[in-house]
Structure 1
Amino acid sequence: MPRVVWLLVIARAINKLGAFSLPFLTVLISSDFGASVTTAGLLSAAFGLATIPSRLAGGRLAGVLGRRRTIVLGLTGCAVAQLAIAAADSLLQVAFFAILLGLAFELYEPPSQAMIADAVGPADRVRAFSLLNAALAVAGTGAGLIAAAVGRWDLRWLFVVDAVTCLACALALRLVLPADHPRRHAATADGDRGAPVHPWRDRALWAMFSCGTVFALVAMQVMMGLPLTLAGRGLEPADAGLLFTASAVTVVAAQPALRLRRIAALPDTAALALGYALMTVGLAGYALAHSLPAFLIGTGLWSLGEVLVLGRVFGVVAALAPPGGSDRYLAAYGISWGIATTAAPITATQLLDRFGATVLWAGTAALCLALAAAQPLLVAPLIGRTRPAGTEPETGKDTETGKDTETGKDMETGLAARRPRAARAD
């Protein structure tokens, strides 16, 4: 992997080590300010809603201010908001700074993901994004241990420590990432310059975004619903931490499998369908599980599926973007997580309360099965467009060797480097 990929992965993992405060936001609101559970939930939902414009702003600011500046701005904004939450002395202040945190929370993601996508060739994007996913999984496990230690002292200190890691990450990336340079407008297929990028006019992106929103909802429902399910079936709710740790171990252990020839050679939609199918089996296992070993088996299966999905989706979205437009495309795709963060606390708890754990996990598995079926039937025809006749793949410089490399053609998926103008520009 190029140096910039390792820098972003390591910095993001360090930042993730401190990202343990958000699950305790509702607890802080309830315990320190006497708010009801409903009020605490609404404020958490407001945070989730604020992350949606934050993600879009991250993609736009990356093109206006530069990627490094946007990354530093987002991390610094998160630190300021979390320090303010830790120092707040009223519920109104906490609500204001929680929304402010949401508005800064996703600024980092589009430029960092775009830098990773642009730093490697299309054939290496699966490994690059899988490496990022594995690092975040390991760091997330460490974050839980830190939260358990610091949270016993004072919940407000969770936000302080999180803010410190954000500032440390911002400073490190400010020093080591390449400086921002004025970015020229990308040439369109017709050769003219200056045409704006319009991700939402791209039907292929809409297909990826729709599937990504359902996938994110599934992932967030696992986070929200698993501890409650364990409690409802007579197990210790804290054992959810063991299951999430098992998931992180599975994600890391499965990384070498992505380099196996049969898996690496799969078309993107086939790999995504396989990933969703594995998630279907694992989550269906949750519907039937009544012992910790059974839950561990289900966790391992859906985690293997998640490895395949997360390793591919960002590479596919980046390949759909026109030259210079990966920030905007990744930002548009990423708001699926904001939608899921807002919806999952409601859907998971309502399904559990009204119908029980069996229906929750059977329904969640059904969503994954529908995603698996949608890949060859609906998604593949849209993202598998052929290169227009007479066009040649673009070439660029490898960031490590300086040699010319083909960057315009995805060797694994056949995604066209140059899309019809109507699909991406006004």
Structure 2
Amino acid sequence: MPVLGLPRTVWWLVLARAINRLGAFSMAFLTVLVTAGFGADTVTAGLISAAFGLATIPSRLLGGVLADRFGRRRTIVAGLTGCALAQAGIAMSGSVAMVAVFAVLLGLAFEIYEPPSQAMVADAVRPERRAQAFSLFNTALAVGGMGAGLIAAGLGRWDLRWLFVVDAVTCLACAVVIRLVLPADSPARRAADLPVDRPADRPAQRLVRRVFAPFRAEVAGAEARAVWRDRSLLVLLASGTFFALIYMQVMMALPLALTRRGLEAADAGLLSTLSAVVMVLCQPLLRRTATTLSHHAAMACGYLLLAAGLAGYAVADGLPGHLAATVVWSVGDVLMFGRSYALVADIAPEHARGRYLSVFGTSWGIATVVAPLCSTQLLDRAGPVGLWSALACTCLLLAAAQLTLIRPLLDRSAAGTAPAARSPER
């Protein structure tokens, strides 16, 4: 029975995501564990963290392949179980080398559950409600993060290894919830998605063909196109990467920027909590605007609100100003996040949603690697005013691009695509 217009499957996924996020605080302390626990230098700790971030990019792509090939629920459970094992490995590591190995393994498993869970949301919800469902999915991440900070504050004072133990337990708990309450995967697979082995193929050739065959998306009639050749998806990936870069720079640079203004770095936690509260309170607003604003109009408005909030950071000199600016950009975040994933789900063939969402999701992996470099350079060279002003101007450019470039391209692509290539309206 639907709750607030959304199927129970979505709510179970939201709950599982919140549980998983509740424990996903340990990676923020990985560098501290490497330096304080093993006596390594900060350069080594940074390299290990960077290796983890790079490993999350193929992890998300693998999640999309497995989701479309073997099923959503199986892939989610496998990914979360892999995360739990890697987290436990970090907790039990006896050397920096072991920590590095398990950190890379964790990165390779870390994003596997994202594409199948997002594809399951898109499968369960009518197109006009996808933006609300994806926004709620993002809100669960923020709400879980609020509790995660409290847990980290308590356990981190005791022993940093316990942070990774608790994270492993929450991953397993999330996997159990998914396995018990979500519908089973359909045993049938599309023949078009299955690779065909040739008698002359060597074992290695067969393995390569089976790994990469799922990325061939079959569309209407005899036409076929690869996921990576879909211009609409690549344009959304480009804009999504810029948005992810902005978002990650805000998260990573905010504590440093606050100290430059004479405030406490810990005030960033207060701003993060306020953002999560705003996202929860804005859910009814998003539901009411779902039918009145198109995805492109809503995203343009979101970029404008984000620009206004970041401009507020640029001129704010005290905590009240930063609190007000946080409210503004958080409303913009609500409008954009759900709409962007809804656009990707709309352009994806039904049997390839996992792959489309996984490709789009690589924007966050790219941002995780690039954002620290950009934000620290901007902060050192231009100060807080220059940093926030540059990000605000980027948001304005993205708002203009959404209406003048992205919308016309997607409209032309939709007009020139046969109805059978898209998922059926439900």
State TM-score, norm by structure 1. 0.89
1-structure distance, mates of 2:64, 2:327: 34
Query: 1:96-111 to 2 correspondence within 5 Å?
Result: 96-111=101-116
- Partner of 2:94, secondary structure, is coil
Shift of residue 37, structure 1, vs aligned partner: 2.1
- In the alignment, the residues of structure 1 paired with residue 397 and residue 39 of structure 2 have an alpha-carbon distance, to the nearest angstrom, of 42
Which residue of 1 is the match for residue 319 of structure 2?
A: 292
Are 1:2 and 2:7 an aligned pair?
A: yes
- Once residues 225 and 333 of structure 2 are traced to their aligned partners in structure 1, the CA distance between those partners, rounded to angstroms, is 30
Which one-letter code corresponds to 2:149 in the other structure?
Answer: G
Q: Residue 346 of structure 1 corresponds to which residue in structure 2?
A: 373
Q: Is 1:59 aligned to residue 64 of structure 2? A: yes
Q: 1:44 Cα deviation (Å)?
A: 1.0
Query: CA 1:203/1:390 → structure 2, altered by over 3 Å: closer, same or farther?
Result: closer
Tell me whether 1:244 sits opposite 2:272 in the alignment.
yes
Which residue of the partner structure matches residue 221 of structure 2?
191
Corresponding residue number in structure 2 for 1:280: 307
CA distance in 1, matches of 2:50, 2:190: 38
* Structure 2 CA distance for partners of 1:305 and 1:390, relative to 1, 3 Å: closer
Q: Does the CA-based 8 Å contact 2:350-2:422 persist in structure 1?
A: no
Partner of 1:258: 286
Other-structure match for 2:197 = none
Which range moves more in the overlay, 109-118 or 182-191? 182-191
- 1:414 aligned partner: none
Q: Which residue of 2 aligns with 1:119?
A: 124
Deviation digits for residues 255-309 of structure 1 (CA, Å, limit 9, x no counterpart): 1111225x63212111111101100010111111110000011111111100000
Distance 1:390 1:48, change over 3 A: closer
Instruction: Give the CA deviation at 1:352.
Output: 1.6
Counterpart of 1:380 in structure 2 is 407
Tell whether the 8 Å contact from 2:115 to 2:355 is kept in structure 1 after alignment.
yes
The answer on whether the counterparts of 2:347 and 2:422 sit within 8 Å (CA) in structure 1 is no
Matched, 1:201 2:207: no
Partner Cα separation in structure 2 for residue 388 and residue 206 of structure 1? 17
Paired with 1:369 and 1:294, the residues of 2 have a C-alpha distance of 21
* Distance of 1:286 and 1:31 partners within structure 2: 33
Deviations 1:22-80 (A, max 9, x none): 11111111111222222222211111110000000000111222211111110011001
SS at match of 1:235: coil
Q: 1:219 aligns with which of 234, 247, 252?
A: 247
1:179 is paired with a residue of what secondary structure?
coil
Letter aligned with residue 281 of structure 1: A
1:184, distance to aligned residue in structure 2 (A) = 1.9
Residue from 293, 318, 325 that aligns with 2:352: 325
Q: 1:229 aligns with which of 247, 257, 261?
A: 257
| 1:29 corresponds to 2:45 | no
Q: Residue by residue, what CA displacement relative to the aligned partner does 1:132-191 show, whole Å, maximum 9, x if unpaired?
A: 122221111111111111111111110000000001111221122222222225795543
| 1:158 counterpart (158, 163, 171) | 163
1:257 to 1:82, Cα distance in 2 relative to 1, 3 A: same
Of 14, 36, 54, the match for 2:19: 14
Is contact 2:218-2:225 (8 Å) kept? Answer: no
- 1:49–1:102: 8 Å Cα contact kept in structure 2? yes
Moved >6 Å (runs of 4+): 392-396
**1:129-148 correspondence runs (5 A):** 129-148=134-153
User: Between Structure 1 and Structure 2, how many residues are aligned?
Assistant: 395
Please list the CA deviations of residues 297-350 of structure 1 after superposition, one character each: whole Å capped at 9, or x if unmatched.
111111110000012011100111112110000000000000001111221122
Residues 348 and 423, structure 2, Cα contact 8 Å, conserved in 1: no
In structure 2, the gaps of 5 or more residues are 1-5, 193-216
**Counterpart code for 2:189:** R
* Alpha-carbon distance change, 392 to 100 in structure 1, aligned in 2, over 3 angstroms: closer
**Residue 108 and residue 204 in structure 1: after superposition, are their counterparts in 2 closer, same or farther (change >3 A)?**
same
CA distance in 1, matches of 2:141, 2:320: 25
Q: Which residue identity does 2:31 align to in structure 1?
A: T
Q: Distance in 2 between matches of 1:182 and 1:173?
A: 20
Deviates further, 360-369 or 294-303 = 360-369
State the distance in 1 between where 2:334 and 2:156 align.
30
Secondary structure at 1:325's aligned position in 2?
Answer: helix
> Whole-Å Cα distance in 1 between the matches of residues 169 and 395 of structure 2?
38
State how far apart, in whole Å, the 2-side matches of 1:259 and 1:67 are: 26
Tell me by how many angstroms 1:125 deviates: 0.4
- Cα distance in structure 2, aligned partners of 1:392 and 1:57: 26
Aligned-pair distance for 1:355?
2.6
Structure 2 counterpart of 1:365: 392
Counterpart of 2:202 in structure 1 is none
Cα distance in 1 for residues equivalent to 2:262 and 2:350: 54
Percent of aligned pairs sharing the same letter: 60
C-alpha contact (below 8 Å) 1:185/1:324 kept by paired residues:
no
Shift of 1:87: 0.9
Q: Is the 2:311–2:389 contact (alpha carbons within 8 Å) kept by the matching residues of 1? A: yes
Aligned to 1:403: none
CA distance in 1, matches of 2:171, 2:53: 19
Q: Residue 350 of structure 2 aligns to a residue in which SS?
A: coil
